Every structure is written in C-alpha cells, then in structure tokens.
Structure 1
Amino acid sequence: MRKSKAPYPLAFRQQIIELVQAGKSAKELSKEFGCCTKTILSWVAQASIAQAPKSSSKAGLSRAEGEELSRLRRQVRQLQMERDILAKATAWFAAKGEKIYPPSSSS
C-alpha cells in the first residue's frame, strides 16, 4: 500500500513552474528541490492549460510582437522572483542582527 504524501504548497509549485518557464530544466529542479521530475512536468502542463485562454489577448499582435511580449513576461517573472529572494535574504540577515558589510576602518 502506498503512503500518501502531503501535496506541495501552491506557492512552491508556482515558483517551480516559473523556474521552468525561465529556462531551467525539470530534471535540474527535481534534484535541487527533491521532487519528482514527472511531477514538475505535470505542474507545467497544468499551468499551460490554465493559461491558454490568456493567449487569445495576443490576437492583434504580429508574431514578432507576440514573441517579444512572451520574452518580456518571462523576464518580469524572473526579476520578480529575484527581488523576492533578495527581500527574504535581507529579512533573514536583519533578523539575525548581522551586518552584511562590516564597517570599514579607514585611518
């Protein structure tokens, strides 16, 4: 009999999907985060199905414009993720009371 594992949190799944869309491989992410490659691929497939109606908003755009829009959206997601990581790191250092850059002793 299989043991049922608790589902991954939604925020975690969304972060993994964003990483795949930003260009990381599912295999790479499965090793890094300890979840199954097939699971990651199914999350990405489900996300693309859920986002399919959104692509109809590109109807008035040329192919080049649509590709640029997609590239820019991926870039925005990547930058937002990096910003969030830096904010969490800043909060972590602030909670520990450590200074990232010690004061310089100029004589």
Structure 2
Amino acid sequence: MVLEHQSSYKTQCATTAAIAPKIGCIHQTLPVWLRKAAKDVGTAGGSVSEKTVSNQAARMKNRELRQANEIPRKASAYFALAELDRPLEQ
C-alpha cells in the first residue's frame, strides 16, 4: 500500500504517516516492514528472513506432493477408461 501511494506524497515518511493509522499501526513500523519486504524479494541487501525461507521450502514441498499425487490420479483414470473399453464377460 505504501509503495502504491508513495507518488502521492513528497516523502516516504509522509506516506507512512498517512497510511499507518488506516491499517492500525504506528508510522515507524511501516519502514521496517518495507525494508524486510525488500530483503525478502531480493531488491535490498541483507539476508532473507527465516519465515520466507521456510515458506519457499513449504511451497516447493507442496508442489512436489501435488505432482506425486497426480500420477496415481491419472493412472486410475487410465485404468477406469480401459475397464470401460473391455467387452462384458458373460
């Protein structure tokens, strides 16, 4: 929100002072969040926060699990179609 509205104000301090009451925090908190977000995205120097690293690892694991679950789902659909194509036994 700060980055979106920064062009409307002369300084970043003025931007944070205007936006902070709207989201229910003090204006000193927003620059800290902005620096942390810039580090997490990689636009600023410094290390990425542990939370970001763990979130990235969880997303990767989630993607791997979805791909692993896709194989049995496709196999069961394939065998179900093969079963429908088979002539009836009488």
TM-score by length of 1: 0.33
The structure with more helix, counted as a fraction of residues = 2
Higher relative contact order structure (alpha carbons within 8 Å, sequence separation ≥ 6): 1
Larger CA Rg, structure 1 vs 2: 2
